[in-house]
Structure 1
Amino acid sequence: MRIKIEKLIYEGWGIGHDENGRAVFVKKSVPGDVLDVKITKEKKSYTEAVIEKIIEPSEKRIDPPCQYFDLCGGCEHQNIAYPDQLKFKEEIFRETLSRTKIETEILPIVQASEPFFYRNSIRFFLVEQKSGKKIFTRHNYLYTDGLVEAESCLLQSVKSNLILSLILEVVNSDRNKSLSGFYQVKIREGKFTDEFMVELMTDDNKLPFELELKTALNQIPEIKSLYHTVTPQRQLRNIRRRLLHGSPIISEKIDKYKFQISPDSFFQTNSLGVKALYDKIKEFAQIEMGDTALDLFCGTGTIGIYLSTLAKEVVGVEVVQSAVNDAKVNARINNIYNCEFIHADVNMWLRNEKIEKYENIKIILDPPRAGLNKELIKKLSNFLSLKNFTNLIYVSCNPATFARDINEFELHGLKLKKVQPLDMFPQTHHLECVGLLQKI
């Protein structure tokens, strides 16, 4: 089937129409492409397809710099120059809000400082071929359970790629020796500290090539933390870790603040873009010295700590106990004493807490990709009846759930005054945004 790609939509799909006017979604396509495509999935109202042949390339299409781009599921847009990626992302964001009839000021998208080499965390899967050769793989974009060979990644640092190459060299030093359950490597990096954490993951207690791996990786002094991590049945529960070398944690900096990262810590994937994101939150929140900042879904406390010098107090609420523990440590190592971090489900905490006791409230929401539920939105909206409530800041990594939730807020008397999209994830479809809501 031959189609012309008309535009990009969210999640990295290009969209065209067949001769009957039926929508056809094609990954890794570029607006203006004329393509022969192969249907992979039929839905009621649309078709999914893959590129078989490029008949006429779009003038916006470029050669992707990564040799694995055509099959790897890590990126969607390396075949589009970065300035054009930004234009397309902003168009998609504006259309997402327009489609849900949200009228607001949309500020021009903030571009990333580095379009490549920005990721501070990445995983690679180890696979043993019939010949005995071991290779690294990433997810194949065509199949959720498929893997494609990829021995490096242009979204992670040169040093991270060096770590991968050393590991491959070790495990291929003996073709007759099996991986025996050694199936994954995870690398975390402090972009502003040049500290690395490496996790060698197995599905049982044995780590093959252990001595050789320790010797090889000790060649890189920036590896401050080396773990053998056991994940039974390759599930991320009942995890056991054994520290093979160095410190149990690494650190990262945002502006003048230092944060510790443990193996389970959540941290924004693009450290290089975090300051721009947090500065926008600060600008929108307009926190003053008499204010209480409620940092809901606070994670490891990075936003609250970043805003702490502006506020009378910061109260962070987070359901993950390990994240709350990290938040408390992060406040302590930065000598921040006006932050309180509470282990609780945000919904339950709001239901039980007498929020009226806090003075001059500013609320920061940074929920998971799934967004908020209606009960929470209603509860937060009701706080607007309080004289001491002013701004609500909504941080989202999912424009679709952001638009859905903003609609719900507006049903309860709030108005999205303005929103700032930020490109924290170049070469991919992902987009961050910060919205300011106030009482109508």
Structure 2
Amino acid sequence: MSVLFETSLGDIVIDLEVDSCPKTSENFLKLCKVYYYNLNAFFNVSKDFLAQIGDPTATGTGGESIWSYIASQSEGTSVPRYFTPELTPKLKHTHRGTVSMAVAPSVNGNAGGCGSQFFITLADNIEYLDGKHAAFGHVVEGLDTLDKLNEVFTDQDGRPFKDVRIRHVVVLDDPFPDPEGLVKPPSSPTRPPDNSNRIAEDEDPLATLPEEEEERERRKRAAEASALTLEMVGDLPFANVRPPENVLFVCKLNPVTRDEDLELIFSRFGTIMSCQVIRDKKTGDSLQYAFIEFDKREDAEQAYFKMQNVLIDDRRIWVDFSQSVARLNTTWSNNPKMGLRRQRDNGGYGGREDLEATRRYRGEQGRGGREYDMVFDVPDGDSGRRRKRSRSGHRERDEDRSRERRRRRSRSPHDRRPRSPRRR
């Protein structure tokens, strides 16, 4: 008559003394049969002494016998929580791996006895337990698992910091008939019966990743933190923003290359929504890079592979996918409250269907709302208009002064009348 415990530290096989302890063995086997011990945790582990389990609450105060468990599943019946075990003098705690039922003392007139809690000794010759607790079995396989259990780290109450649980129970041999009213559950429980805040049994707090993976994780966390910071200060529309997948970045251009030239060359791959060579705002000179937006991502991919290192205006250009999100920040948003309204030529953006033009820019026509700015240069609409007005005012005053100076120079010397002498 044996039972197999599959624990988080390894397997343990227990043989029962059914001839010497029939009632205790029956109680233990039937509790195993109804999955009562599944996912129970070892809540009291004392080094070189014992490891206690069998309380679903993992507090040392819970648990009940199989007969009390059956009565609790039906209405109108009442059975004592504990039963009286057999205390056989010849069964002693002389060997490591002895299995005993924990005997509860009498409290407030209530009879003591055994419920579901049991323990396994972790050392030999523990005579202190003889006659006080009911030994009814011994471990025949899994002594190495007991060694691991003996070395776990525990708190001041003996509870392991990292949970050690019985994952599954298999009854290998059961000679006893089922008690009346015993119903075996269709499946074993999937959640532990206790509310544990310990380290999970499948978690390794001391696990270390390879150096490459640690560096990769560190960079990933740093990138997520930086993206969240940029979102908070307003440089990104949202932290997980992605660059558009249908926009190409073209650099190493000849300064004489115009927007129309690039659009004509790249248009053979598909419909181009916009093509803009970025220029200096003051001088108007080309900065020798451009952005080309295709209607479809597939067209952009084809142009990326075909136009790499192509000669345009005696220059070998370099083509890559755009990594800039400045345009999304200034012109686009993913506000779900705006619904699925789209402009005629703006059905989503950058491969994301949830990116929509904001109301502020929907009324703009032509190319004014679709132009790219210089890389990392995000304009401020209000301040830009104020600067334009102030510059235009200075320019008008300068032109008036220039016209006045030219008019004075153009006057002929013969037209100037001599001044009359002052009279004294």
TM-score scaled by length of structure 1 = 0.17
Q: Give 1 or 2: higher strand fraction.
A: 1
TM-score scaled by length of structure 2 = 0.18
Higher-Rg member (1/2):
2
